[in-house]
């Protein structure tokens, strides 16, 4: 038997949870390209309140994500996922039934309160073995990018054909489908596995927040999503004013996403294989700044807007791929899950600030001020990130230890002495060793052989 081949249970867990996560993300992203155009017909709507409706989702996510991740250790993963999806569906129904912008704001806040990402990743960790967990989590990451692209295309099509209310009803149905999949397709976990690679460790926030490299990266994901949300406040009405009807916007997003996804792969290979992460990272920030300047100067020139949008999403998609990798490389051994939790909180705070700030600026002085401010945010981000060091090109592993290995006081030093091992943390109460390795010099199999030899 090939021990690295996924079992039926692992495949069901990966596909099932990946689909649940994608359905929820689809519901979140489909609103972005249409709310600033179709939402203006709501009672009491203004550009500032539309921005608040976009951003309040992120604020609720930022508030509830880490606590819900910790609560899932007590109440169980599936109950929390189902409960979160029910809250998300309730928020969608409220948004679908209202004719007021304040009803949509309430609905969006409830949608964000159903924060299930940490519980999904924890359940995936419970249901997959160490040697297959990276593959399973990579599938979740890929599904995130694909879902974003699909949502950008489907949102305008559905809203133009059926209306904004129908879009929210559809989002509610997607959440209910996620509940059905969670209960009927996703396997039940026999036990909760405390895996510091995917879960949050209590009392570890100070250690992670005190890491200057991680702080700069968290500021980066904050800026990236602030730019995304503020752009989506200004971009759809800007294209309408330039002569492109809202019903045609999906064509722009489709072409843009296809080109950017095709172009992303060489940059990721160059960053990872050639070990040029910082160069690609700084280049992407520069391109984002350029995109904001192009959009600021575009006025009513439609093709200039298209160029700005293409530049933006090319850099955005590369950043979405390499930022989590940078967090993984910089996180201390045994604290990757906590680092990713704080990173996600920074991401959703960026959503909150970007949506709200973008709406206020758009109402104050139009799209030009939104993009000019975006260029300023990009410049500050570039200056902060210029002090980043080249990251260590390492991967994180969790090794399961036998009772005998746990009692071996020299195990940690023995692992550290292996070629390619840069950091080791042994946690006896979890019967685990968390190791950072250079995969060009060693791998999981070699280290497991060393442990098994005990």
CATH number of the domain that residue 433 is part of: 3.30.70.100
- Which strand ranges, in their side-by-side order, compose the sheet holding 432-437? 395-400, 432-437, 421-427
User: How is residue 397 annotated by DSSP?
Assistant: E
**Claim to verify: residue 97 and residue 246 sit in the same structural domain:** no
Residue 2 resides in a domain:
no
**Claim to verify: residue 120 and residue 67 sit in the same structural domain:** yes
Residue 360 has a pLDDT of 96
**Claim to verify: residue 250 and residue 379 sit in the same structural domain:** yes
Residue 380 has a pLDDT of 97
258: CB partners within 8 A, 6+ apart:
none
- Single out the residue in 134, 161, 193 at which a domain terminates: 193
Residue 124 has a pLDDT of 84
By three-state DSSP, how is residue 100 classified? strand
Residues 219 and 319 sit within 8 Å (Cβ to Cβ):
no
Highest mean pLDDT among 8-12, 139-143, 256-260, 371-375: 371-375
**Claim to verify: residue 258 and residue 222 sit in the same structural domain:** yes
CA quadruple 120, 122, 126, 130: dihedral, nearest 10: 110
19: CB partners within 8 A, 6+ apart:
143, 178, 181, 185
**395-400 and 421-427: which strand pairing?**
unpaired
CATH of the domain at 211: 1.20.1250.20
Instruction: Report the 10 Å Cβ neighbour count for 418.
Output: 15
Q: How confident is the model at residue 75 (pLDDT cuts 50, 70, 90)?
A: confident
Please give the Cα distance from 103 to 96 (Å, whole number): 9
Residue 252 scores a pLDDT above 80: yes
| Lowest mean pLDDT, pick from 297-306, 372-381, 418-427 | 418-427
Structure-block tokens of residue 301: 């020139």
**Claim to verify: residue 189 and residue 209 sit in the same structural domain:** no
Instruction: Report the 10 Å Cβ neighbour count for 420.
Output: 17
Residue 221 has a pLDDT of 94
What is the pTM for the complete model shown?
0.89
Residue 120 resides in a domain:
yes
Residue 198 resides in a domain:
no
How many whole angstroms from its chain centre is CA 1? 35
How many whole angstroms from its chain centre is CA 412? 33
Residue 365 resides in a domain:
yes
Residue 208: name the closest of 112, 346, 62, 67 by CA.
346
- Average confidence (pLDDT) over 32-52: 92
Domain count for the chain, please give it.
3
Residue 1 resides in a domain:
no
- Single out the residue in 393, 417, 436 at which a domain terminates: 393
Please give the Cα distance from 38 to 357 (Å, whole number): 20
| Lowest mean pLDDT, pick from 102-111, 206-215, 438-447 | 438-447
How many whole angstroms from its chain centre is CA 49? 25
Residue 327 resides in a domain:
yes
Residue 121: name the closest of 63, 200, 30, 55 by CA.
200
**Claim to verify: residue 442 and residue 293 sit in the same structural domain:** no
Distances in whole angstroms, Cα of residue 129 to Cα of each of 76, 125, 133, 399, 430: 19, 8, 6, 11, 15
Residue 199 has a pLDDT of 72
H or E, element range at 425: strand 421-427
Structure-block tokens of residue 427: 């946690």
By three-state DSSP, how is residue 398 classified? strand
Please give the Cα distance from 12 to 115 (Å, whole number): 22
Burial-class residue 262 by CB neighbours within 10 Å (0-12, 13-18, 19+): exposed
Residues 294 and 384 sit within 8 Å (Cβ to Cβ):
no
**Claim to verify: residue 300 and residue 411 sit in the same structural domain:** no
- Single out the residue in 142, 170, 193 at which a domain terminates: 193
* Residue range(s) defining the domain that contains residue 92: 7-193
Q: How confident is the model at residue 4 (pLDDT cuts 50, 70, 90)?
A: low
Residues 385 and 423 sit within 8 Å (Cβ to Cβ):
no
Residue 2 scores a pLDDT above 60: no
**Claim to verify: residue 188 and residue 241 sit in the same structural domain:** no
Residues 234 and 362 sit within 8 Å (Cβ to Cβ):
yes
**Claim to verify: residue 372 and residue 443 sit in the same structural domain:** no
- Average confidence (pLDDT) over 211-227: 94
- Average confidence (pLDDT) over 134-152: 82
Residue 1 scores a pLDDT above 60: no
**Claim to verify: residue 380 and residue 435 sit in the same structural domain:** no
**Claim to verify: residue 375 and residue 413 sit in the same structural domain:** no
Residue 199 resides in a domain:
no
Residue 272 has a pLDDT of 86
Please give the Cα distance from 187 to 14 (Å, whole number): 10
Residue 91 has a pLDDT of 94
Residue 3 has a pLDDT of 58
- Average confidence (pLDDT) over 329-355: 89
Residue 212 resides in a domain:
yes
Q: How confident is the model at residue 413 (pLDDT cuts 50, 70, 90)?
A: confident
In DSSP notation, 322-352 reads: HHHHHHHHHSPTT-HHHHHHHHHHHHHHHHH
Instruction: Let me know how long the chain is.
Output: 454
**Claim to verify: residue 69 and residue 188 sit in the same structural domain:** yes
């Amino acid at each position: 038997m090939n021990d690295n081949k996924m079992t039926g249970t692992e495949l069901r867990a990966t596909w099932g949870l990946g689909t649940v996560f994608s359905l929820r993300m689809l519901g979140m992203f489909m609103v972005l390209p249409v709310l600033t155009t179709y939402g203006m017909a709501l009672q009491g709507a203004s550009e500032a309140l539309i921005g608040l409706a976009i951003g309040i989702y992120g604020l609720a996510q930022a508030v509830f994500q880490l606590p819900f991740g910790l609560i899932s250790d007590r109440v169980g993963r599936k109950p929390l996922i189902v409960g979160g999806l029910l809250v998300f569906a309730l928020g969608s129904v409220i948004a679908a039934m209202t004719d007021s912008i304040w009803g949509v704001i309430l609905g969006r806040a409830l949608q964000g309160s159903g924060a299930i990402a940490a519980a999904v990743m924890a359940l995936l960790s419970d249901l997959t073995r160490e040697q297959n967990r990276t593959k399973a989590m990579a599938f979740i990451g890929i599904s995130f990018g694909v879902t974003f692209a699909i949502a950008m295309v489907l949102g305008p099509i559905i809203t133009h054909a059926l209306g904004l209310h129908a879009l929210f009803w559809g989002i509610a149905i997607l959440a209910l489908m996620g509940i059905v999949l969670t209960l009927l397709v996703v396997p039940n976990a026999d036990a909760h596995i405390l895996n510091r690679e995917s879960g949050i460790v209590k009392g570890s926030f100070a250690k992670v927040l005190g890491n200057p490299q991680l702080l700069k990266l968290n500021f980066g994901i904050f800026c990236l999503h602030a730019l995304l949300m503020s752009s989506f406040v200004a971009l759809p009405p800007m294209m309408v004013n330039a002569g492109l009807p809202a019903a045609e916007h999906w064509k722009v997003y489709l072409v843009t996403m296809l080109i950017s996804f095709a172009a992303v792969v060489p940059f990721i290979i160059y960053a990872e294989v050639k070990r040029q992460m910082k160069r690609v990272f700084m280049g992407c920030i520069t391109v984002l700044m350029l995109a904001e300047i192009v959009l600021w100067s575009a006025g009513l020139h439609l093709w200039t807007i298209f160029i700005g949008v293409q530049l933006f999403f090319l850099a955005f998609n590369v950043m979405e791929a390499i930022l989590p990798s940078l967090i993984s490389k910089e996180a201390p051994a045994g604290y990757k899950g906590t680092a990713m939790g704080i990173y996600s909180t920074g991401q959703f705070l960026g959503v909150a600030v970007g949506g709200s700030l973008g709406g206020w600026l758009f109402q104050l002085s139009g799209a030009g001020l939104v993009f000019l401010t975006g260029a300023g945010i990009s410049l500050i981000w570039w200056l902060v990130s210029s002090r980043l060091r080249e990251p260590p090109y390492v991967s994180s592993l969790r090794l399961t230890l036998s009772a005998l290995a746990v009692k071996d006081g020299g195990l940690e030093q023995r692992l550290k002495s292996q070629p390619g091992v840069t950091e080791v943390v042994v946690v006896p109460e979890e019967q685990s060793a968390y190791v950072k390795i250079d995969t060009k010099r060693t791998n999981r199999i070699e280290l497991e052989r060393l442990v098994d030899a005990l």
